[in-house]
Amino acid sequence: MSKLTITQPVNCKTDLHPILLGIARIFDFVQVIDLPGNKSPEAIDAEALSNDWYALGDDMRSAFKICMEA
């Protein structure tokens, strides 16, 4: 049985942003980065749920692609 290795290409535009944001939060002593803005709690929850479903879809597509290539 062959060993399956999963490698994903690095996309600097999307992969670097969270890293830089994390570094910026270290030095954000007055919490300017995470200001709540004008969003209601319901809108924030809806956005988070939407992002979760998009991430799930991306994971499913990636898994399906790996299974079809095997």
Asked, for residue 62, whether it belongs to a domain, the answer is yes
Residues 6+ apart with CB under 8 A from 62: 8
Check residue 54 and give its pLDDT.
Answer: 94
Check residue 67 and give its pLDDT.
Answer: 92
Q: Residue 65 pLDDT more than 70?
A: yes
Task: Note the residue count of the chain.
Answer: 70
Asked, for residue 48, whether it belongs to a domain, the answer is yes
Asked, for residue 7, whether it belongs to a domain, the answer is no
Domain count, the chain: 1
Give the domain extent around 67: 38-70
Asked, for residue 19, whether it belongs to a domain, the answer is no
**Predicted confidence band at 62 (pLDDT cuts at 50, 70, 90)?**
very high
pLDDT digit string (tens) for 7-32? Answer: 655 555 556 677 788 888 788 777 67
Asked, for residue 27, whether it belongs to a domain, the answer is no
* Triad 24, 27, 31: Cα angle to 5°: 85
